[in-house]
Amino acid sequence: MLLIAFGWIAVLLLGGGFALDRTLTNLVEKNFDEQLSYMLTAMIASAEIGPDGEVFFNRALGDQRFLEPNSGLYWQISGKGHDDFPSRSLWDRSLAVQRDHADSQTHIYNSDQFAAEPLRVAERAITLPGSDTRWWFIVAASRGELDSQLSRIRSILVWSFAVLGLGLFAMTILQTWYGLGPLRRVRLAIQHMRAGGANRVTDPLPLEVQPLVQELNALLEHSERQAEEARTHAGNLAHALKTPLTVINNAATAKAPDLAETVIREAGTMRRHVDHHLARARAVGRRAVGHAQTPVCESAEAVRRAIERLYPEVRFDLDGNRNAKVAIERQDLDEILGNLIENAAKYGGGSVFVTVDAEPASGPCVIWVEDDGLGIPEEERIRIFDRGARLDTGKPGTGLGLAIVRDVAEIYGGGVTLGESEDLGGLLVRLSLPRAG
């Protein structure tokens, strides 16, 4: 910010200084040239032709410097075939005249004909009444005074713009330091938070940084929630593994005759618990990576093809919005739909109906999974989501399918509820997931 500000100030000051220098220089030179033109006009107005054919002044020119030798202000009248008529200030010198052209209008130019004395010359060619000769009227002034004025002007400009530039630079530094002050206060607030063991930034801060503080507090809350989830998962897993390990340890200590069967059974139980918690951990990790967009119908079709190989006698129907997408990773959506469709095929009467975006609206995407089985009694619909809960123990299963569905859906901000299918008469699973895009 400072480098950009310094560079821009320098460019503006240089450009402005150059433009102002050109303007003032032109004004001073124009004023100087107007004085020469005025003197030249006075010469022409005072000039007459005498009886001898020579030019003379009917009245003296007013500027005293024309009478002082080498005063720096000179005039001269020259005509072809006539001697030059110079001012006394020229002394023994004369002004050069270029007679190969004639200037009917005043011509002003710089001349170096006098050594160490650059001149500003105004000349004009006039034919006076009573004479056929073209006379060159010339007024010259030393550029010393003009150059001295320009030098003083440039010196004032340089010093003024230097002071102005330093002032602007100092103001830019002060403004930047003051403007970034709220960020320094945010840094100090974070230091205070860490030193005091707080979990939020609570220091009073300016309004300009309140959005940043709110986002920071939201990030801290999110991190705290994730850490709490991780602790909860670890505690749940430890609690779930504690009972099987105790059973195995007791069987091994007692040298039970069915030790092998006990180890295999309890190891299977532990594996199911580990798979359940790994699924939750993967879902949490993928949710934190970014915003996914997964087509629901593509996932449902893939799951349907896999389930058909396991239950070829079951009839599957898929309907609804083919373009619906949800903000959930494809692997997690496959796992959710796989559990729901497999349960519908396993416990249903032979028909499974999946409706995508069954409740079209601007809110979440709702997916219905229906079957024609016996359903679940209303008083059991909450308990069935508990880990290991099973109503039909006559069929193989772990009792973790609906628990995994609920946990993964809630991780992404969705949910799952159970009801009764009006069309098929069995269980209706209503799955809501955040809509993508």
C-alpha–C-alpha distance, residues 326 and 334, integer Å: 12
- For residue 210, CA distances in Å to 185, 215, 218, 250, 295 come to 12, 9, 12, 59, 38
CB neighbourhood size of 162 (10 A): 12
The CATH number covering residue 424 comes to 3.30.565.10
pTM metric for this prediction: 0.47
Among 49-53, 126-130, 313-317, 382-386, the minimum mean pLDDT is found in: 382-386
212 in a domain, yes or no? no
158 in a domain, yes or no? no
Residues 57-86: tens digit of each pLDDT: 888 887 888 889 988 899 999 888 888 889
- For residue 347, CA distances in Å to 76, 273, 343, 351, 371 come to 126, 22, 6, 10, 8
187 in a domain, yes or no? no
143 in a domain, yes or no? yes
Residues 313 and 411 in one domain: yes
The CATH number covering residue 88 comes to 3.30.450
* Per-residue DSSP letter, 379: G
- Tally of domains within the chain: 3
Domain enclosing residue 269, as ranges: 223-286
pLDDT of residue 264: 86
Residues 38-50: tens digit of each pLDDT: 999 999 888 888 8
100 — pLDDT class (breaks 50, 70, 90) = low
Of 132, 150, 168, the domain-final residue: 150
Residues 234 and 312 in one domain: no
92 in a domain, yes or no? yes
Is the Cα torsion angle 92, 95, 98, 99 positive or negative in sign?
negative
Residues 62 and 137 in one domain: yes
Of 246, 269, 286, the domain-final residue: 286
C-alpha–C-alpha distance, residues 343 and 337, integer Å: 10
Of 115, 134, 150, the domain-final residue: 150
Residues 309 and 411 in one domain: yes
Residues 236 and 281 in one domain: yes
More confident residue, 385 or 148: 148
C-alpha–C-alpha distance, residues 332 and 339, integer Å: 11
Query: Token pair for residue 158?
Result: 């340089």
Residues 350 and 252 in one domain: no
Residues 240 and 143 in one domain: no
